[in-house]
Structure 1
Amino acid sequence: MTEADVRAVVAEQRRYLTEVLGGLDEEDWDSPTLCEGWRVREVVAHITMPYRLSLPGFVLGMIKARGDFNRMSDRSARADAAELTSSQLLTCLHDNVNHPWKPPGGGFVGALSHDVIHGLDITVGLGRDDVLPEHRLRPVLESVRPKQVKYFGVDLTGVQLRADDLDWTFGTGTPLTGRAQDLLLVLSGRTLPAGHLHGPAADRFSAVG
C-alpha cells in the first residue's frame, strides 16, 4: 500500500469509529473497555489526545510523568475524560479524521494500528459483533513484530495464533484460533471475553466466565 492508501484507510477507520460512538448513550460512554481501568470515554480521550496536545504540552506531561509514556497517557486520558463531554470528544474525533498524526517511528501504519486496536477495545468491550474489513486489519497484522508483543507482556510460548477468517498466522505451536481482530487484541496484551478464542490455550487469554 502507498502512503496515500494507508492514510485513506486511517480516515476510514476514524469515520467508522465516529459512527459507532455517535450511536452510544451516556451509559455506554461510561462502560468498561478492554483497556484495563479505562471506560469508553478514556479510550476516546486517548485516541484523540494527539489532536489536542501541543508539543510543549507533551514534553511537560512527560516531565511530570518522569519520562514514563504510559503514565503520561493514562493521566492525560483520565484528565481529558473528566474535563470533556462525550459530545466534545466525539466532535474532536469527527473533525480530525484526516489528521496527519503518526506515532514516532511508526508511520501511518502505526497510526492505523493505534486507531484499530483502541477501536476494538471499545467495540469488543461493549459486546458489539462488528467485524473490521481485511483491508483495515491486514496492514496492522503484518506490521506486528516480536518486540511489540514483548512490550505488551504477551507470552506466546508454544502457541500459534491462527485466524479462522483470514489467511494469517503468528508464531509456532499449538493453534489458538479466532477472528483475526481478536488475535490482534491477544498480541496487544488484551484479555478477551469468553468464547472469542478457541484451542487449548484459550483460557490463558480469556476472561473467566
Structure 2
Amino acid sequence: MTDVELLRERADEVTRAPGVGPMGQLADGCVHLRDCARPLGLPDDVTLDDWRVLLEWLSMGVVGLVPKRRLQGLKLQATDQEWSWGAGPELVDPSESLAMALTGRSVALADLTGPGVADLRDRLASN
C-alpha cells in the first residue's frame, strides 16, 4: 500500500494528540500557522472565534505548553474582541499576539502593550 493510499484509507479517522487532546491540535494549527506566516508578513486568517477558544484553553495553563506560573498575577486583554482573563498588570493586544506570547513565542512580546509585558518577558526568559 502506498503512502497516498494509506492516507486516503485513514482520512476520516479521528485521532487525538497524546497528552493535549483535540485542543492541542487546534493550538498546534493556529500557533504554528502564525509561526510561519508572521515572518513572511502574511495576515492572520485564524478566526476570532478560534482565537477565543484557544485563549480560554491556554489561560487555564496547559502542561507542556503554558505553565500556570507564566500567567500568574497577570491580566490578559484582547483588543480585537471582547475577551479578558485574570487580574493584575495587563497584557493588551490582539488575540493572535496574546496566544503567541502565552505559548512562549517571544517575538510576540514586541506587539504587546501594558504594564504586564515586562513580567511576561522575564518569565519567558527564565524558561
Q: Same fold (TM over 0.5)?
A: yes
- The structural deviation recorded for 1:101 is 3.6
Question: How far off is 1:121 after superposition?
Answer: 1.5
Contact kept in structure 2, 1:162 and 1:170, CA below 8 Å: yes
> Could you say which residue in structure 1 is the equivalent of 2:82?
167
1:1-209 correspondence to structure 2 within 5 Å: 100-148=14-62, 151-153=65-67, 155-193=70-108, 195-203=110-118, 204-205=120-121
Change in Cα spacing, 1:155 to 1:149, as seen in structure 2 (3 Å) is farther
What is the rounded CA distance, in whole Å, between the counterparts of 2:101 and 2:78 in structure 1?
Answer: 12
TM-score normalised per structure 2 = 0.66
Q: Which runs of 5+ in 1 are unaligned?
A: 1-51, 53-95
Q: Which structure carries more relative contact order (alpha carbon 8 Å, separation 6+)?
A: 1
Residue 149 of structure 1 and its aligned partner are, at CA, apart by: 6.9
Q: CA RMSD in A?
A: 3.2
Deviations 1:83-108 (A, max 9, x none): xxxxxxxxxxxxx9977342125333
**Partner-residue secondary structure (3-state), 1:200:** coil
Contact residue 162 and residue 176 of structure 1 kept, 8 A: yes
SS in structure 2 opposite 1:104? coil
Q: Provide the identity percentage.
A: 27
Change (3 A) 1:97 1:120: farther
Q: TM-score scaled to structure 1, two decimals? A: 0.44
Distance 1:132 1:147, change over 3 A: closer
- Of 99-108 and 160-169, deviating more is 99-108
Looking at secondary structure, tell me which structure has more helix per residue: 1
User: 4+ residue runs of structure 1 moved beyond 6 angstroms?
Assistant: 96-99
Judged with a 3 Å threshold, the aligned counterparts in structure 2 of structure 1 residues 158 and 109 are, in CA distance, closer, same or farther, namely closer
